Amino acid sequence: MLAEFDLIQEFFTTAAGEGVALGVGDDATLLTPTAGQQLVVSVDTSVVDVHFPADAPAHAVGHRALAVALSDLAAMGAQSRWCLMALALDQRTWADAVTGRAWMHAYSEGFLALCSRHDTGLVGGDVTAGQLAISVTVMGEVASGQALTRHGARPGDIIAVTGALGGGAGGLALWQQGERDLAHPLIKRYLLPTPRLAAGQALSGVASAALDISDGLLADLGHLRRASGVGAELDADALPLVEGLQDALGQSGARQAALSGGDDYELLVSIPPDHWREACSTLARLGIPLTAIGQCVDTPGVSGVMSECQDGWQHFVGETP
């Protein structure tokens, strides 16, 4: 039988990072925010069999739970600083100290490696019994007034996405078919997504609006459109697909995954035309693809063009109202 204090001591006591005046081990943690910065906070919960499969490797569970939360900081153009992790562990993991400890070891490795990669201090958390689930609260900082939001897009702005789309849905489909190779491009994007923190920070002051693609491109584009009060013309043929997506899902399935699949954790941004070259060169230096997929327009809603539809669409399937 594992004990909460031992678990935290063994797996989650990391060196107190910058800005941590008092770390894990008291009732709460004391942080010293940077003067002149705004604090950017968000929480994201990952539940077994809802957000990740029960047989996902423990280190991927840890990585993914943090990555999806950090993705929200990326969408704000923030620098990640700290996180808190609330872990509910199922009874079997608690009950068997050997397999439980092995699971915790791998889980914490996945979580803490991503913390380290993004200079994010784990400054608090708890471990309880319950259905396996992780709530991660992330805290970042951004210069006052410089955060990217959803409401700055204007007609004429170019709509673009970082990286490639369809990995979330494509990886899930492959996993359900029995593929277990974490190095497969689709599985990797599904279980080990990369939060686009560097891209978000680079696009602060360049993009007019941004959010991360968690609900699916069309749904998230809907959030951006409504927040900004613009419409969108989308060129579905221009969507950058993850390598191997068409092989896995076929042409139509791949496009559907890219449009509506969700869990891609790429950034969806709007960029004023006179900032476009700067945006491209900035992200090129970071080695992150940026692909124009449409533009903002006055007309509400989303219209689209697809090569196989002569008249284009008035409404994409899968868009939320």
Chain residues in the site for its own copies (CB under 8 A): 21-22, 25-33, 35, 38-45, 47, 50-51, 71-73, 75-76, 78, 82, 84-86, 88, 123-126, 128-131, 133, 135, 137-140, 142, 144, 147, 149-151, 210-212, 227
CB of 149 to its own copies, least distance (A): 5
CB of 290 to its own copies, least distance (A): 18
How many other β-carbons are positioned within 10 Å of the β-carbon of residue 221?
28
Identity of the residue, 154 or 188, whose beta carbon is nearer to its own copies in the bound complex: 154
- Local structure of residue 2 (DSSP, 8 states): -
Distance, CA of 177 to CA of 29 (rounded, Å)? 44
Identity of the residue, 32 or 177, whose beta carbon is nearer to its own copies in the bound complex: 32
CB of 197 to its own copies, least distance (A): 12
97: helix, strand or coil: helix
CB of 107 to its own copies, least distance (A): 16
Burial class of residue 89 in the structure, from the number of CB atoms within 10 Å of its CB (0-12 exposed, 13-18 middle, 19+ buried) = buried
CB of 61 to its own copies, least distance (A): 14
Distance, CA of 105 to CA of 68 (rounded, Å)? 21
CB of 129 to its own copies, least distance (A): 5
Identity of the residue, 212 or 264, whose beta carbon is nearer to its own copies in the bound complex: 212
Distance, CA of 167 to CA of 179 (rounded, Å)? 14
Do 266 and 195 form a contact (C-beta atoms < 8 A)? no
Distance, CA of 319 to CA of 321 (rounded, Å)? 6
Angle between helical axes of 245-260 and 167-176 (0-180°, round to 10): 130
> Cβ contacts of residue 154 below 8 Å, gap of 6+?
208, 228, 230, 270, 272, 296
Distance, CA of 107 to CA of 59 (rounded, Å)? 4
Identity of the residue, 249 or 302, whose beta carbon is nearer to its own copies in the bound complex: 302
Identity of the residue, 141 or 157, whose beta carbon is nearer to its own copies in the bound complex: 141
Residue 321 in tokens: 């109202």
166: region left, alpha or beta (phi > 0 left; psi from -120 to 50 alpha): left
CB of 133 to its own copies, least distance (A): 6
Identity of the residue, 117 or 223, whose beta carbon is nearer to its own copies in the bound complex: 223
User: C-alpha distances in angstroms, 134 versus 88, 123, 203, 250, 277?
Assistant: 6, 15, 29, 34, 40
CB of 88 to its own copies, least distance (A): 6
Identity of the residue, 131 or 252, whose beta carbon is nearer to its own copies in the bound complex: 131
Using the structure block, give the residue that is written with the tokens 């090569």.
307
Identity of the residue, 81 or 255, whose beta carbon is nearer to its own copies in the bound complex: 81
CB of 314 to its own copies, least distance (A): 23
Identity of the residue, 22 or 95, whose beta carbon is nearer to its own copies in the bound complex: 22
